[in-house]
A and B are shown apart, each in its own frame.
Chain A
Amino acid sequence: MTWDWSAVGDFMPRFWDGLLVTLQALVVGSLISFALGLVWALLMRAPSRWVRWPVGMVTEFIRNTPLLVQLFFLFFVLPEWNITFSALTTGAIALGLHYSTYTMQVYRAGIEAVPAGQWEAATALSLPVRRTWTAVVLPQAIRRVVPALGNYVIAMLKDTPMLMTITVLDMLGQARLFSQQQFQFTEPLTVIGVAFILISYPASLLIRALERRLVR
């Protein structure tokens, strides 16, 4: 096995394309998981069990089935119902949906960590329930869970290569395509491995710094 710098050079244009796709999937997937996870968490606190029960079932189901199966399902089954998205959009939705079932647990813990005295003070001031959530409870809960959400973003980053299986040309997809055409595997795979660590390690340092600042 020899290392060929020219293969690295040849791969780089495709690498940048792949990086862009990976980051797009990551950003959209994260935003979906942040928003949807909060929706799940709030629905799980609904007074009616006719709301909590189905939400609990659906999210347990999603959390306990593999992301890869969900990807295939969204990519191959939805078009049969005439719902079609691009491969990248489908992938980002799958990531967001899957991870929303984890972020919901994070939000739940954050909401439960808000002391009972905060709710009592809101009641004593006659704040309406809605206002208590938006002005008192959620700002405190979300501040506390930002680092934990960040950890899921890093986990999601490492799951983005799965999108390759539904034809998305993310970093790994580009590396594989390049390898199949040039019969050079070492260089492109090494490049994307290094790229992953260059993104995720600083991100985890950032999260640790955020943790020190936000979680008190």
Chain B
Amino acid sequence: MSADTPLMKEPDANAGADANANPPVDGSELIRFEHVTKRFGTNTVLDGLDFCVDSGKHVTLIGPSGSGKTTILRMLMTLVKPDEGTITVAGERLFPANEQQIRDVRKKIGMVFQQFNLFPNMKVLRNITEAPVTVLGLPKDEAEQRARDLLELVGLTDKADAYPTQLSGGQQQRVAIARALAMRPQVLLLDEVTSALDPELVAGVLDVLRDIARTTDITMLCVTHEMNFARDISDQVLMFDSGRVIESGSPERIFSDPEHDRTREFLSAVL
């Protein structure tokens, strides 16, 4: 485990599945999309998209629905394959790539979903330990320790033995965040993680994410409609429209002085 991995509570040599991962945290490039195109039927969702994200950055993708933001996250998580173009993560090819390469890269990426997608047949603790044990080969007690540390981080220490259905949406989403972090990914993808929550539960989840953004050097890509949150945690905001990045910059600039008309329209509609 290299020192630059997020959430190193215990400096274990055992999380070794990604021992070869040596992510540069000096702000060098971590994710690169080149000429990525994706069509669903006749609908072109992404059209020759180019963009890159530097290591350790917190990037928010904004834009009208259907502009391809979620598709980008799903491509990085290998849930969707592009039609054309190349995707590179930490110098390794994610697309086009063979199964083995895809598996290797996938371990560096974690994702939190809009609908949480916790495993309802497993208790909270095992939701978090399942992948570290079966994928990383972590001993069970070590994985459980890691899980309990993460539950502390998301404020749910007392819920280790609950089933997901016994938790509120906000609690489930915090478990899902802990579950993603248990794999110690270099990149955390957040796909509208508060959209399915009752309004009064949103703050708890955002607080946890803010905490993670502040205290770790994990690279974050989020798709969100919470502009305040975007402003809060992002280093960079990318404005999407019709499958392209039409504007990017610091949140201060994008939100206060958008260059593009489409950005202005979008922001006036959501803010």
Contact = CB atoms under 8 A, between A and B. Distances in A.
Interface of A: 115, 117-118, 120-121, 123-128, 131, 135-136, 139-140, 143, 216
Contacts of A216: 165
Given A117-B115, A123-B106, A127-B130, 10 more contacts: A124-B77, A124-B109, A124-B110, A125-B110, A125-B179, A126-B107, A126-B135, A126-B183, A135-B134, A216-B165
Nearest to B180: A124
B229 interface: no
A127 B121 contact: no
B228 interface: no
A121 B119 contact: yes
A125 B131 CA distance: 6
A124 B119 contact: no
Contacts of A131: 134
B77 A140 contact: no
B245 interface: no
B119 A136 contact: yes
A139 B126 CA distance: 14
Contact of B135 (A118, A120, A127, A136): A127
B118 interface: yes
Contacts of B115: 115, 117
B165 to A, nearest CB: 8
B117 interface: yes
A51 B108 CA distance: 34
Interface residues of B, number: 25
B16 interface: no
Interface in B166-180: 179-180
30 contacts: A115-B115, A115-B117, A117-B113, A118-B119, A120-B117, A121-B117, A121-B118, A123-B79, A123-B106, A124-B106, A124-B180, A125-B130, A125-B131, A125-B135, A125-B180, A126-B103, A126-B131, A126-B135, A126-B183, A127-B135, A128-B134, A128-B135, A135-B119, A135-B122, A135-B130, A135-B134, A136-B121, A139-B121, A140-B121, A143-B121
A111 to B, nearest CB: 14
Contacts of B135: 125-128
Interface in B158-194: 165, 179-180, 183
Interface string B55-99: 000000000000000000000011100000000000000000000
B131 A117 contact: no
A127 to B, nearest CB: 6
Interface in B94-147: 103, 106-107, 109-111, 113, 115, 117-122, 130-131, 134-135
Contacts of B119: 118, 121, 135-136, 140
Contacts of B165: 216
In the A-B complex, the 3 residue pairs with the closest CB atoms: A125-B131, A121-B117, A117-B117
A47 B159 CA distance: 39
A123 B77 CA distance: 8
B130 A120 contact: no
B131 A127 contact: yes
Contacts of B77: 120, 123-124
A171 to B, nearest CB: 39
Contacts of A136: 119, 121
B91 to A, nearest CB: 19
Contacts of B134: 127-128, 131, 135
Nearest to B109: A124
A56 to B, nearest CB: 27
Nearest to A125: B131
Given A125-B135, A127-B130, A139-B121, A120 B113 contact: yes
B256 to A, nearest CB: 35
Contacts of B121: 136, 139-140, 143
Nearest to B114: A117
A139 B78 CA distance: 25
Nearest to B126: A135
Contacts of B107: 126
A118 B130 CA distance: 14
Nearest to A118: B117
A128 B79 CA distance: 14
A128 B131 CA distance: 9
Nearest to A135: B130
Given A125-B179, A126-B103, A136-B119, A120 B131 contact: no
